[in-house]
Every structure is written in C-alpha cells, then in structure tokens.
C-alpha cells in the first residue's frame, strides 16, 4: 500500500505518537491514508484504540525490525 502521507514517530514514547497522529490527521482530507511508524511498545495498543475511539479506519499493521507501521484512513 502506498500512503498519501507519512508520520515518523520512532523514538517517541506514549502518548506522543498518538498526539502527533491526531494533530497530523486534522490537516488531512477525509479518505487520505497516512502511514505511521512507531517503535514504542505501547503504540501496539494506543494506535488501534485511538482509531476506534476517533472513527478513523486502521487499514493494516506491519512490523519489521522493531518498528510498527500503521496504515490509517482518515474518516469523513
């Protein structure tokens, strides 16, 4: 999948990856897909929970080399 936008949240600890994601999503158009990279172990729980609570679609999650990549579609 090729995202419309990317957010590098590697090296940030909870709750910063989700806070940066929330701020970035505000500037996107409904339907845009953003890929978020995070290496905070708490992101495994925090990012999906944020998507569920805010109505954004968590399309998929990948992990490689200790970095999780979340593909999220902004809700309309």
Helices of type H across the chain: 16-26, 43-54
Ramachandran angles phi, psi of 69, nearest 5°: -120, 125
Q: Give me the pLDDT at residue 1, please.
A: 83
Q: Give the structural domain span for 40.
A: 5-73
Specify the pTM.
0.96
- State how far the Cα of 12 lies from the Cα of 60, in Å rounded to an integer: 21
Which tens digit of pLDDT belongs to each residue from 7-19? 999 999 999 999 9
**Which entry of 5, 10, 14, 37 is annotated as an active-site residue?**
14
Phi and psi at residue 14, to the nearest 5°: -50, 135
- Are 50 and 25 in contact, with CB atoms under 8 Å apart? no
Is there a catalytic annotation at residue 14?
Answer: yes
Q: What is the CATH number of the domain that holds 41?
A: 3.30.110.40
Considering its fold, how many domains does the chain have in total? 1
């Amino acid at each position: 999948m090729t995202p419309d936008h990317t957010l590098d949240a590697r090296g940030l600890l909870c709750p910063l990856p989700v806070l940066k994601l929330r701020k970035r999503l505000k500037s996107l158009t409904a339907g845009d897909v953003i890929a978020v990279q995070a290496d905070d172990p708490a992101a495994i729980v925090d990012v999906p929970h944020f998507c569920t609570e805010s109505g954004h679609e968590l399309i998929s999650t990948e992990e490689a080399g200790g970095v999780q990549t979340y593909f999220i579609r902004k809700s309309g």
